[in-house]
C-alpha cells in the first residue's frame, strides 16, 4: 500500500538512469516531507498560509505516488510539480502580512532541483522565471505597502533587486560551469570506454585467430599420430610373433591416447578445457575395441571433475591406458568389469580410484613396463598411488594434482 515510499525499480542496465531515478525520487520525497512540515507549522503559527501549504503538500504527494509508477519516465511529472510549487510560492506573495524574503530561497531551490533532475536548460528556465516573477512582485506589488517605506527610501528596493539579479546570475554561472565540467568528464569516460571496447575487439579477434591456428595445429598433430598408428598396424600385420604383435598393440594404444587429446582439443571452441568425462569414456571404448577381447567387458565411469588443465590430461590418459590395457591382458579370465571414479578437487588436489574385478598376475605386474610408466606419469601429476589386490578384485588409489603449468621466465 505504501510502495510509493520505496524507490521505484528501474529495469535497465543503464547505471546512470538507475541512479538518476532514485535521486529524483529522493528529492520529491524530501520536498513532500518539507512541505508537510510547513503545513503543520503554518496551522499552528500562521493560519494565513495553511491552505496554500496543504494544497502544495497534497500536490507533491500525488506527484510522489505518480513517480513511483512511472520510474525513469519522470520528466513530465517533475515539470508539473515545479510549476505547481512556483504557483503556490507566488500565491503567498499576495498575502500582505509577511515580508516574503524567504521566497527567494525557494526560487534557488527550485532552480537547483530542476537543474539536477530535468537538465541544465530546465534549470536555467526555472531560474529565469522565478527571478523575473520575484523582481516584478517586489518592485510593483510592494510599492503600495506602508511597511516597506524604509526599503523604498534611497532606491533600496531597486538595489535589492539588482543584488538578487546578480546572485541569480552567479548561481546560473555556477550551474553552467558545473554542467560543462560534467560534460567534459562524460566525454573523457565515454572516450575511455570506446577505446577499451576497441582494444577488447582487437584482442578478441587476435584470440580468435590464435584459437583457429591452435585448433589447426592440434588437428595436424592428431592426423600425424594417426598416420603413425596406421604404419604401426601395417607393420604389426607382417609380424608372426604373438608377443611382438602385442607389444605393437600396446604402443599403438599409447599413441591413440595422446592422439585423442589433440582430437578433443580441435573439436572444442575453447582450447583451455576438455570435458574429462567425454575424454575418458572415448579412451576406454577405444582401448577395449583395440584389444578385441573375447570376454564381455563392462565399465562404469564416475567423475566429479568437469575438466583438467590440458597439460595434465595426457599423463592421466596414459595412466588409464596402462591400467586398462593390463586389465584386459592379465586380469580377466572371463567377463570383466572396470570402474573409474574421480573425485572433485580440493584446492588443486584430486583423487582417482581404478578398479577391476579380476586378479592381476603378480609376476606380470612387477615386470610390466606399463606399470613403470604409471610411476612416471604419476610423478608428472605430482602424485602418489597404492595398489591393493583383494578377493573382490584389484584397486589402484591415486592422489594427484592439477596444478597450473609453470610459465617460462617465471620468478622463483
The full set of domains in the chain, from first to last, is 3-144 (no CATH), 295-405 (3.30.565.10)
Is it the case that residue 385 has pLDDT exceeding 60?
yes
Who wins on pLDDT, 157 or 264? 264
Is it the case that residue 367 has pLDDT exceeding 50?
no
Give pLDDT, residue 252: 81
State the pLDDT confidence band at 340, using cuts at 50, 70 and 90. very high
- What is d(CA 125, CA 122) in angstroms, rounded to the nearest whole number? 5
Give pLDDT, residue 398: 94
Nearest to 81 by CA among 126, 46, 49, 121: 126
Edge to edge, the sheet with strand 297-303 lists: 297-303, 336-342, 349-356, 393-401, 384-390
The percentage of residues in the chain with a pLDDT greater than 90, rounded to a whole number, is: 6
Give pLDDT, residue 12: 62
Q: Please count the other Cβ atoms lying within 10 Å of the Cβ belonging to residue 252.
A: 19
For 97-127, the pLDDT digits (tens) are 555 556 666 667 777 777 777 777 777 777 7
Give pLDDT, residue 365: 47
Give pLDDT, residue 329: 75
Q: Average pLDDT, stretch 154-175?
A: 60
Residues 6+ apart with CB under 8 A from 184: none
Give pLDDT, residue 105: 66
Long-range contacts of 58-61 (CB under 8 A, 24+ apart): 59/84, 59/85, 59/88, 60/28, 60/31, 60/32, 60/35, 60/85, 61/32
Question: Which stretch of 174-178, 187-191, 306-310, 374-378 has the lowest confidence by average pLDDT?
Answer: 174-178
Place of cell 500562521: 46
Q: Average pLDDT, stretch 336-346?
A: 87
Who wins on pLDDT, 223 or 95? 223
Which residues make beta-bridge pairs with 349?
A: 346, 401
- What is d(CA 74, CA 27) in angstroms, rounded to the nearest whole number? 12
Q: Average pLDDT, stretch 255-267?
A: 73
Give pLDDT, residue 396: 93
Give pLDDT, residue 355: 92
- What is d(CA 350, CA 335) in angstroms, rounded to the nearest whole number? 30
Is it the case that residue 366 has pLDDT exceeding 50?
no
Q: What's the chain's average pLDDT? A: 74
Q: Average pLDDT, stretch 32-61?
A: 77
Amino acid at each position: 500500500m505504501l510502495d510509493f515510499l520505496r524507490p521505484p525499480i528501474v529495469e535497465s542496465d543503464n547505471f546512470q538512469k538507475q541512479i538518476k531515478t532514485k535521486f529524483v525520487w529522493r528529492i520529491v520525497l524530501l520536498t513532500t516531507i518539507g512541505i508537510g512540515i510547513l503545513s503543520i507549522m503554518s496551522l499552528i503559527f500562521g493560519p494565513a498560509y495553511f491552505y496554500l501549504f496543504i494544497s502544495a503538500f497534497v500536490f507533491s504527494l500525488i506527484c510522489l505516488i505518480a513517480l513511483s509508477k512511472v520510474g525513469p519516465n519522470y520528466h513530465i511529472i517533475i515539470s508539473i510539480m515545479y510549476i505547481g510549487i512556483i504557483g503556490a510560492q507566488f500565491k503567498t506573495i499576495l498575502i500582505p502580512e509577511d515580508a516574503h524574503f524567504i521566497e527567494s530561497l525557494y526560487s534557488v531551490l527550485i532552480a537547483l532541483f530542476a537543474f539536477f533532475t530535468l537538465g541544465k536548460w530546465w534549470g536555467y528556465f526555472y531560474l529565469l522565471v522565478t527571478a523575473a516573477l520575484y523582481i516584478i512582485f517586489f518592485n510593483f506589488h510592494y510599492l503600495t505597502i506602508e511597511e516597506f517605506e524604509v526599503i523604498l527610501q534611497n532606491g533600496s528596493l531597486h538595489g535589492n533587486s539588482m543584488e538578487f539579479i546578480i546572485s541569480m546570475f552567479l548561481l546560473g554561472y555556477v550551474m553552467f560551469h558545473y554542467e560543462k565540467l560534467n560534460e567534459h568528464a562524460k566525454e573523457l569516460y565515454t572516450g575511455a570506454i570506446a577505446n577499451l571496447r576497441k582494444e577488447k575487439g582487437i584482442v578478441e579477434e587476435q584470440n580468435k585467430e590464435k584459437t583457429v591456428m591452435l585448433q589447426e595445429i592440434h588437428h595436424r598433430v592428431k592426423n600425424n599420430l594417426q598416420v603413425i598408428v596406421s604404419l604401426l598396424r601395417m607393420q604389426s600385420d607382417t609380424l608372426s610373433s604373438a608377443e611382438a604383435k602385442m607389444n605393437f598393440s600396446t604402443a599403438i594404444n599409447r599413441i591413440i591416447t595422446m592422439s585423442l587429446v589433440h582430437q578433443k582439443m580441435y573439436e572444442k571452441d575453447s582450447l583451455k578445457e576438455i570435458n574429462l568425462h567425454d575424454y575418458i569414456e572415448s579412451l576406454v571404448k577405444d582401448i577395449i575395441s583395440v584389444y578385441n577381447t573375447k570376454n564381455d567387458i563392462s565399465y562404469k565411469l564416475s567423475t566429479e571433475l568437469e575438466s583438467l588443465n590440458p597439460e595434465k590430461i595426457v599423463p592421466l590418459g596414459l595412466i588409464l591406458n596402462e591400467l586398462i590395457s593390463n586389465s584386459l591382458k592379465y586380469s580377466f579370465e572371463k567377463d570383466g568389469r572396470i570402474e573409474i571414479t574421480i573425485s572433485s578437487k580440493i584446492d588443486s588436489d584430486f583423487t582417482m580410484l581404478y578398479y577391476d574385478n579380476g586378479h592381476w598376475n603378480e609376476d606380470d605386474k612387477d615386470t610390466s613396463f606399463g606399470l613403470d610408466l604409471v610411476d612416471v606419469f604419476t610423478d608428472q601429476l605430482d602424485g602418489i598411488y597404492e595398489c591393493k589386490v583383494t578377493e573382490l578384485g584389484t584397486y589402484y588409489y591415486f592422489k594427484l594434482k592439477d596444478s597450473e603449468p609453470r610459465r617460462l621466465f617465471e620468478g622463483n
